[in-house]
Amino acid sequence: MQRLRTREVKIGNLIIGGNHPIRIQTMTTTDTMDTEATVAQCIRCIEAGAELVRITAPSKKEAENLLPIKNALRAAGYSTPLVADIHFTPNAAEIAAGIVEKVRVNPGNYVDKKKFEQLEYSDADYQEEIERIQQRFTPLVRLCKQHGTAMRIGTNHGSLSDRIMSRYGDTALGMVESAMEFLRIARALDYHQIVLSMKSSNPQVMIEAYRTLVQHMQQEFGECYPLHLGVTEAGDGEDGRIKSAIGIGTLLEEGIGDTIRVSLTEEPEYELPVCRNLLTRYGNLPVEETMSTRTFNTTSATSILLNPHLVIADISKLKNVVPQDLTTVGYTYTENDDKWVIHDQAADYIFCNEVPNFALPGTLNVLCYYEQWLPYCANAHCFPLFDILQYIEGPYIHHERRNFVMLDARPNAYPQEVRAKIMSKLRKDRTVILCLSSTTDQAIQEIKALCDELVSNGITNSCVLISDNNDTSLDQALIQYSVEAGSLLLEQRVSGICLGFQFGNLNFSREELLHHIQTLNSISFGILQASRKRISKTEYISCPSCGRTLFDLQETTAKIRAVTNHLKGVKIAIMGCIVNGPGEMADADFGYVGSGVGKITLYKGKDIMKRNLDSSVAVDELIQLLKEHNAWREPQGV
């Protein structure tokens, strides 16, 4: 795989696109009018590895204050380019264009407005609106040309204008056209120092939008501009990292992306190690010599999908498994009444070297190698795992319902005559669930190619991904798991996952093993949730905070999570301000949005339910709103 060749764009002393490395960046969370705090946070971000730092400028006064911030950074010896983040205020953008190295504008709210109105446009009316955008946007383009300032045209799924929504709907194509309107105006003025982005809180929408944008630029212009990748409102902790890795990593895997930002509801410097972990995997892809036309095969290649999508927990490194060990995979044994409590993130199978010698919960199945399974073949909850050569050579006893078969996706894993025998045998056996794996850096592409080969041979058996990792860092391993499993799940190539770990072949204590098993089980369900394949917990759409934020976002997110994290399947958006807030409500069931200093407005979907509540009572009011709409249930044990 090669990186897509894009135009070079100069941002101060930094060049993005062309043959240059993928750049990493972040955004400050301080009040832009607090010069000292903003400068201090910029320095922390730069020293943590940020190659660009973005600062919000919601009005003229913040835009003007970018100058003392920049001067202080330059006086301290920092030359990192600064980016002004603009929404709603063209005048602020025009001021910022003369100060910082790059200006970000959102085409959804730079000229257009969003009132969630369905409007009807004739072609003439629509063209009149485009001309209005041209009149309003042209002064900024000319100022950027004059000052040598770069620009990011950054579309957000949550802030598509009513005009775009009326013609294109809430679609990836609408996101692309929103940006292309602005890009056409800039090109007509011979201005090309442009980076583009297509952000969404839903990785699948985000991926589709970037792919569509690449194809539209190639078809219309014969060239591509650099792309800034990010999943917006990803949230915090493990969930935020998984969601970001799926969206950003899937595109980097395809050679798309020139700069990345991981948006976490945490301190901005914590975003940068996640960026570096992504680039450890994808930062060294060569850039193609000349731009090639990109096509994306996203057709499902394994048509029989399991429901629900399976989670197989690998506990094979544990010896002498006891009931209490299964707490790590979602099953709690209560000894006093000899019962199992089955949690929402309960694995469907455990893979082990020995079948446990105690009665298992009724929903849990055991998967083990054929030799270990054979004495238990009469047990309805035990299933065999065959190596593919073992399976085709036989004769072996098979399970009447399900037989798991390991298949190596590397193209030269088997001689051609063996490969033909594999296909012939699989074509006749509908009981097989294929466990696909590859240990190479091209694992995703190899598994996709194998899935295509299976279908071309008339084999549509369900597939499970086995993703093994030998990194010593779980943070780095999470990136591999998320990218491999997430991209294959989104394209419906696989319908189950089993995460294995070696972690540098370190010797773990039993307690450490149990901790890793529990973490990998949580990651498995997190990947399934982020790819919208299996919902097992509350989902939080949480913005990363910035100088526009009207309350302590990290503290509030933690508070809301603490009282709602048992509401399986409910999507709650927590937004610092109205820039993306109401728009992202369309993808959330309920929303908690800053509407003024210390004031919160609550939404159901995109409809306002309770306006300008005092933040001291807003969380309680959110719970009441959940109750009013039958989305609340009491936590277990309460």
* Residue 231 identity (one-letter amino acid): V
Average pLDDT over residues 44-69: 96
Average pLDDT over residues 597-620: 87
301 has a pLDDT exceeding 60? no
pLDDT, tens digit, for every residue of 536-581? 888 777 765 565 555 677 778 888 888 998 888 888 888 776 655 5
Average pLDDT over residues 511-525: 94
pLDDT of residue 638: 40
583 has a pLDDT exceeding 70? no
Helix (H, G, I), strand (E, B) or coil at 105: strand
What letter would DSSP give residue 491? T
pLDDT of residue 303: 52
pLDDT of residue 116: 60
Phi/psi of residue 84, each to 5°?
Answer: -90, 130
Lowest mean pLDDT among 58-62, 484-488, 499-503: 499-503
319 has a pLDDT exceeding 80? yes
pLDDT confidence of 447, banded at 50, 70, 90?
A: very high
pLDDT of residue 300: 53
**Sheet of strand 599-604: strand arrangement:** 539-542, 571-575, 590-596, 599-604, 607-614
pLDDT of residue 72: 98
Q: Which of 98, 13, 39 is nearest to 63 (CA)?
A: 98
Average pLDDT over residues 400-421: 95
Among 85-89, 581-585, 599-603, top mean pLDDT goes to 599-603
Print the SS3 string covering 423-441.
HHHHHCCCCEEEEEECCCC
203 has a pLDDT exceeding 60? yes
pLDDT, tens digit, for every residue of 342-389? 988 999 999 999 899 998 998 999 999 999 999 998 888 999 999 999
Locate 152 and state its tokens: 């990011």
Computed over every residue of the chain, the mean pLDDT equals: 89
288's CB contacts (< 8 A; 6+ apart) are 2, 3, 4, 5, 255
Residues present in the chain in total: 638
Radius of gyration of the chain measured on its C-alpha atoms? 26
463 has a pLDDT exceeding 60? yes
17's CB contacts (< 8 A; 6+ apart) are 6, 7, 8, 9, 195, 225, 226, 258
pLDDT of residue 192: 98
Locate 368 and state its tokens: 């083990």
Q: What percent of the chain has pLDDT over 70?
A: 93
36's CB contacts (< 8 A; 6+ apart) are none
Among 58-62, 143-147, 268-272, top mean pLDDT goes to 143-147
pLDDT, tens digit, for every residue of 325-341? 999 999 999 888 888 98
Q: What percent of the chain has pLDDT over 90?
A: 62
Q: Which of 91, 98, 44, 88 is nearest to 67 (CA)?
A: 98
Average pLDDT over residues 256-274: 92
Average pLDDT over residues 289-301: 71
Helix (H, G, I), strand (E, B) or coil at 31: coil
d(CA 509, CA 496) in angstroms, rounded, equals: 29
d(CA 440, CA 422) in angstroms, rounded, equals: 22
pLDDT confidence of 491, banded at 50, 70, 90?
A: very high
pTM over 0.85: yes
pLDDT confidence of 607, banded at 50, 70, 90?
A: confident
- Please name each of the domains of the chain with its CATH number: 9-282 (3.20.20.20), 310-530 (3.20.20), 539-628 (3.30.413.10)
Identify whether the C-beta of residue 466 lies closer than 8 Å to the C-beta of residue 485.
no
